[in-house]
Structure 1
C-alpha cells in the first residue's frame, strides 16, 4: 500500500513530548493517508518502550546508537512509501489538521517544492524558526556585529531572520526548518536525503540549498500551524550553540567561496563575543543576564571547535 505522506519522527530522550506529538498526528490528520515511521536514537528515558506500548500501528526502529538527526531521518526514509516525506520533530504538536493542509497545498501546487508551516510556541505566540534566509557573508556580518539583534525587524540587517514577516502569508523562502518539512519523496531520493556530514543542525539548510539548485522552491504554508517547543533534547545552551555554529561553518565550507569561509568563522566568534559583552552590561541589573553572558562567553572560548 502506498500513502500520501510518510511522516518521519526521530526521538531522543523526549519521551513525553514524543508521545504527545504522535498522538496529535493521529488526532489531527484526517484527510490524507499516512504512515508513521519513528526512529529512537538510543534513548535512555524509556522512549522506545513507551512508543511501542502506546502506538501499535506505526513503524518503530530502535537504533542501538545515536545516529543524529540526519542519519536517523535517512534511515527512516528508507522505509517510506508515501508520495511525500514529512520530517516532524518530536517536540511538536499538530494543530488544526496541519498535515492535511500542507499535503493538500503541495498536491495542488504545479511546481516542484519543499514546504513548511507556521510554528508557534507553547503559549501560541509566533515561533519564527519555521524558515529562514540562506546564510551569506552579509548575514554573518550582521550577526557578528549585533546588527541583526538591534534591527530585528529589518530585512536588510536581519536577512536570515526575514525581518518582521510573521509567517502569515504564502511566501517563497530560502530554507525550511527540519522540524516540519514536507518534500516529495522522489526529490528526497534524488538529493540522497540528508548529507551525513551533519550530525545535528545544518542538515535541513543544506537540503534546501541543494533542492533549490535542482529548481525546487521552498514555500511557507501559513494555514499549516503547529506548536514547536524547541530544544527539548539538548538543554545546555552553550553546547547547543557550539553545535549550531559548527554546523554553520560546515555550510560555509560546502556552499561558500573559499575566501568567505574564514570570514564566516570569524563572524561566528564575534557573534558569541558581542552577545557576551552586551549581556555583561545588562547584567548589572539582572542575575539572569549575567548567567546568559557566561553561557555566551563559554561559546566564545570554544571557538576552535567551530572555526
Structure 2
C-alpha cells in the first residue's frame, strides 16, 4: 500500500463529503494503491450514513463517544499499512496532484519524516500555520502576548509561523499542521503515534518535535495546495478554543522542557490562558450586547431630556422628580421596552419597522398597567407615553442610520443582495440555481461562466442576427476577471463536477482581490454549496433546509423561552422525575446544557443541521413505534418536524418523552 489517508470527523457531513470526493480524485491521479479511513467520533448528523452510501471503498470506524482527535487518529493508524500516512481534516479540499507530488518529494528525500503543504482558507488566502516553528518558552510568550502578530516577519518575534520564510519556497520546518500532515510510516514506527494526552490541538506539535528529535526532518512543500475551511471543530474566537489550545501548549512544555523551565512556562501560559479567555468572552459579549446597550443609552438620554423639559414647562407642581425616577424607574421602563422589542423580533434580521413599533407599544402598555399597582412608583403617565414615542423614534432611527451606512439606502427590509455567477456546465448551473432558490438565498444570479469554450457544433453561426447558443452563458474562464468587474459580482459558485480542484484553487488565488468576491463550491452530486468568508470563522453552506420554519428567528426565540421554562419545571419536579428516568444521571447535566443554550430539549439529532450540540429529544425518539427506527426513517421524521414546525409541537414531544430527559 503506497498511501493511507486518515480523516477524523465530527458533525461535518457536508465538508466531509467534499473532502472524500477530492481524496478520491487525488488517489486516481496517484495511480497507486490508496486506503482511506474515516473515524467518526459519534456524530449526530448524517456523516456515517453519507460515507456508507457515497464512499463504499472507505474503511469506516464508528466510535460510540468522542475520544478526541489524537485517540481517533491512532485507531486508524494502528490499522493503516501505507508506506506514507496522511492525517487530513474533514474540512479540507485537496487538489488532484497533491498525493503524487507529496509521494515524489518524500521518495526523493529519504530523510523526511513529515511533510506539510501550502494551506489556503476558503477564499484562497494563505494560512500562516502551513509552516510553524517550535513553541519554545520564548516563542510561545511572543505569541500569547501578541508580539508575533505585531511583527510577523521578524526572525526573533515571528518564529511561531516562520513569517520570515517565503511561503513560495520549500523549507525545512519544525512543526507540521494536523490539518494536512503527511508522515512516513517508518518514522512513525520509530517515534510512536500521536500522544493521547492531547484531546485536540497540540498533538501535531508534539509529534513533529518527536520526529525531529528522532533524527528525521520535517519539510514545507508549497507546490501542493489545500483549501482548509477553518473553524469547523471549534470557533477560534471562543473561550473553549483558547482554553483547549493553550492548555495543550502547557502539556507540551511539561513533557518536553526541563522541569524548572516547564514550571515557569506553565505559570506564564496559565496566566495568559485566563487573560485570553476573558478577552474572548468579553469580545463575544460586547458584540452581542452592543446593539442593545446602544439602544438603552439612546432611550435613557431621551428620557432624561423629556423629564427635564416636563419639570420646567409642563409639570403642575414645579418640583423635580425624585432621584429614584432616573435611577430605578427609567431603567425599568427601558428594560421593559427592549425586552418587548426583542420578543417582537425587533433585533431579527432583516429589520422590520413594524416589529419595533409593536414591541414598544406592548412595552408601553405593560409599563402603564404595572405602574397603576405601585403607588410609590407612579410618576407621570404622559412621560411614559412620550417615552414610548421617543423609543420608537430612537430605535427606528438608529436602525435606519446603521442600515444606510452598511447598504447605502434607507429601505430597512432590503439588504444588499448578492450578485453571483455560477462557474460550470449548463446542467450543474441549473442544479445550483435550484438549490439557491429552494434555500431562499437573497441573490441575483446573473448567469453562468462556461468552464471551456463551446465546441464548433455549439457555436452560433457568424451572422449579425444569430442568437447565442446559450443566453445564460456570460463567457468562459479566461474572461472571468473582466466579467467580475462588468457585472459587479460579489460571489462565485464553482461546480466541482465540471472544474478540477486545482483550477478552483488557482482561480481563488489569481482573481483580483478588488472588488471583494466570495467563493463557494458545489461538490459533485451534493446538496450543499460550501464556502467560508474568513479564516477565523466557521465554514458555511447553502442548503435546502435553511428555509425551514424551525430556523426562523421567531421560532428559535419561542423555543428558547420554552427551554428555560421547561428547565425550571424539571428542576422543581426533579426529585420525582429522577425515579422514572431511563438515564437518571443525565437529567441534571441536560438541564445545565439547556440553560447554557448549548442544547434544546426538543429539536434535531440526526440531520446535519443538528450541529455539534444535538437536542436531548428528537421527534424520532418519541414515536409510538416499538422497535428501534432505521436511520433513514429518523432522518425523514426530523425533516418533517423541521418543515412543519410549530412551537406547540415541542410541548407534546416533551410530555411523550419525559422519561428520556436524561438522554
- Whether TM exceeds 0.5 here: the answer is yes
Aligned to 1:92: 92
Aligned to 1:252: 253
The normalised TM-score by structure 1 is 0.86
Query: Post-superposition shift, 1:252?
Result: 0.4
The change in CA–CA distance for 1:277 and 1:185 in structure 2 (over 3 A counts) is closer
- 1:209-248 superposed matches below 5 A: 209-235=209-235, 237-248=238-249
Aligned to 1:183: 183
CA distance in structure 2 between the partners assigned to 1:169 and 1:289 by the alignment: 45
CA distance in structure 1 between the partners assigned to 2:139 and 2:217 by the alignment: 21
Query: Post-superposition shift, 1:26?
Result: 1.0
Aligned to 1:17: 15
CA distance in structure 1 between the partners assigned to 2:211 and 2:114 by the alignment: 8
Aligned to 2:72: 72
The normalised TM-score by structure 2 is 0.41
CA distance in structure 1 between the partners assigned to 2:153 and 2:51 by the alignment: 41
Name the SS for the 2:165 alignment partner: coil
Name the SS for the 1:176 alignment partner: coil
Name the SS for the 1:220 alignment partner: strand
| 202-211 or 91-100, which deviates more | 91-100
Query: Post-superposition shift, 1:191?
Result: 2.2
CA distance in structure 1 between the partners assigned to 2:73 and 2:115 by the alignment: 17
- For residues 73-106 of structure 1, the C-alpha deviation after alignment (integer angstroms, 9 at most, x for no partner) is 1100122111111111101000242122111110
Aligned to 2:30: 31
- Structure 1 contact 113–216 (Cα < 8 Å) conserved: yes
CA distance in structure 2 between the partners assigned to 1:17 and 1:65 by the alignment: 21
The counterpart of 1:273, out of the listed 272, 275, 279, is 275
Aligned to 2:263: 262
The change in CA–CA distance for 1:141 and 1:124 in structure 2 (over 3 A counts) is same
Name the SS for the 2:30 alignment partner: coil
Name the SS for the 1:224 alignment partner: strand
Query: Post-superposition shift, 1:128?
Result: 1.4
The structure with the larger Rg is: 2
CA distance in structure 1 between the partners assigned to 2:150 and 2:274 by the alignment: 15
The change in CA–CA distance for 1:289 and 1:165 in structure 2 (over 3 A counts) is farther
CA distance in structure 1 between the partners assigned to 2:164 and 2:244 by the alignment: 27
- Structure 1 contact 146–274 (Cα < 8 Å) conserved: no
| 133-142 or 245-254, which deviates more | 133-142
- 1:153-192 superposed matches below 5 A: 153-192=153-192
Aligned to 1:295: none
The change in CA–CA distance for 1:32 and 1:258 in structure 2 (over 3 A counts) is farther
| 116-125 or 132-141, which deviates more | 132-141
The change in CA–CA distance for 1:17 and 1:210 in structure 2 (over 3 A counts) is same
What's the RMSD between the two structures over aligned residues? 2.5
- Structure 1 contact 32–103 (Cα < 8 Å) conserved: no
Aligned to 2:134: 134
| 23-32 or 35-44, which deviates more | 23-32
Aligned to 1:294: none
Alignment length (residue pairs):
286
Query: Post-superposition shift, 1:245?
Result: 0.9
CA distance in structure 1 between the partners assigned to 2:78 and 2:145 by the alignment: 43
| 177-186 or 155-164, which deviates more | 155-164
- Structure 1 contact 116–130 (Cα < 8 Å) conserved: yes
The change in CA–CA distance for 1:278 and 1:196 in structure 2 (over 3 A counts) is closer
- Structure 1 residues without counterparts, runs of 5 or longer: 292-307
- For residues 226-265 of structure 1, the C-alpha deviation after alignment (integer angstroms, 9 at most, x for no partner) is 0011220223721011101111100000011122223323
Query: Post-superposition shift, 1:153?
Result: 2.0
- Structure 1 contact 126–166 (Cα < 8 Å) conserved: no
- Structure 1 contact 167–222 (Cα < 8 Å) conserved: yes
- Structure 2 contact 25–96 (Cα < 8 Å) conserved: no
Higher strand fraction (1 or 2)? 1
- Structure 1 contact 140–267 (Cα < 8 Å) conserved: no
Name the SS for the 2:114 alignment partner: strand
| 25-34 or 192-201, which deviates more | 25-34
Query: Post-superposition shift, 1:287?
Result: 4.4
RCO higher in structure (CA 8 A, sep ≥6): 1
Name the SS for the 1:210 alignment partner: helix
Query: Post-superposition shift, 1:279?
Result: 11
- Structure 2 residues without counterparts, runs of 5 or longer: 292-663
Query: Post-superposition shift, 1:43?
Result: 0.6
- For residues 32-57 of structure 1, the C-alpha deviation after alignment (integer angstroms, 9 at most, x for no partner) is 42111111111111211111111011
CA distance in structure 2 between the partners assigned to 1:234 and 1:145 by the alignment: 22
Query: Post-superposition shift, 1:164?
Result: 4.1
Query: Post-superposition shift, 1:161?
Result: 1.6
